[in-house]
Amino acid sequence: MYFLNINKPKGMSSFDVVKTLRKKLSIKQIGHSGTLDPLASGVLQIGVGNATKLLSYLQSDKTYVVKIKFGYASTTFDAEGDIEFVKKPDFSKEKLMSVLKTFLGKTCQKPPVYSAVKKNGKKLCDIVRKDPELNIDIPIREIEIYSIELLAFCGDIAELELKVKKGTYIRSFADDLGKKLNCGAYVLELKRIQAGGFKISDSNYLDDEVYKKISPIDVLDYDKVELDDSQLKRILNGNYIQFEAFSKSGIILLTKNNKLVSVANLSDNLIKPKKVFREEIDEHFF
């Protein structure tokens, strides 16, 4: 049970990365967290073995570096869609900076129609590919952008670094930015440089011979409790234990000899296991 930090190459889907890893590692139980579009590259969080059951517990904030092209609009909000001229961009760096500030904090955003967002159990991208003329009602949802840094600006192209909350679509951000500047815009290049505790500087390329295995307890950002032998036996059998060291409630990690035993819920000084990983513990504990 471990995570991998894979630097997904441009032109490859997240599913293709998982498929490649299954074959390369000869392990079927592999999954990813936070889909990256084929156009995008960068950090892809991979769970191997029982770590696939922990992907939803990973810290969700993301950091991206994006190149945005102004003056045009795209059906997919990126370079892979049908692109048409809108208007020659005519704004200053100061104007761009001013408009970027309006996106900071909690705002509302409509996800791209070509996305993995599901409607009636089906991905929007699959629905629209079957019927491109279909008018799909996509619900607007709340997002949060923590920071935007302008890295470079040259007439019709800007390079930005954005730190965002999970669920924020950079393609939609680019399209919205183009509308606010009254000239259109789409994503030219996109790279995810960080996802939670996974940084691109620590990532492995898919064609590396050896991957760095990441222990769940090193990247899951929750309080941890080391169990004694009697507590361990109760947890392995799915029973609760009493614990008075924490005053707060919520998710907590239970460990034994620096191995993850369980993801549990702490409430009213009771720890109740949600997920138990018996196979991670030495045989003499059973």
Catalytic residue numbers, as ranges:
37
In whole angstroms, what is the distance from residue 61 CA to residue 222 CA?
Answer: 15
Torsion of Cα atoms, 165 then 163 then 99 then 40, to 10°: -90
- The answer to whether residues 73 and 84 touch, using CB atoms and an 8 Å cutoff, is yes
